[in-house]
Structure 1
């Protein structure tokens, strides 16, 4: 189940899946049909579908800009 969005930036929706508590902290980001999963600790891309390389770099930069808040939201939700 998708948890309500943690944040939105422009057309990007940042969210968690409730069935992934045993994975390291990460965030899913969608825009339209494109999706990406980024590990919050290392800021590495776990997987991506539909985004171009330059878009991925921009998304990872957005995650980096909000890394502390996203990590805090992860721990608040999953404990």
Structure 2
């Protein structure tokens, strides 16, 4: 059974390190949520790479930018 996890601050150094570790054993984990303060470009890359549907963006400007890039409603953005 896969372990379901949420990664807060996935675009920071600790979050990136954790994603690197998970990438070596993707079969054991399902990432349910990724979050960032304002690095929306990196967040989208991570979401696509790990097939994550739920994204949290704290910075209002970055939130608006990521909403515009989500025209096909691939992600749930909060």
Normalising by the smaller structure, the TM-score range is under 0.3
* TM value normalised by structure 2: 0.26
| Higher RCO (CA 8 Å, separation ≥ 6 residues) | 2
User: Higher helix proportion, which one?
Assistant: 2
Q: In terms of Rg, which structure is larger? A: 2
User: Higher strand proportion, which one?
Assistant: 1
* TM value normalised by structure 1: 0.26
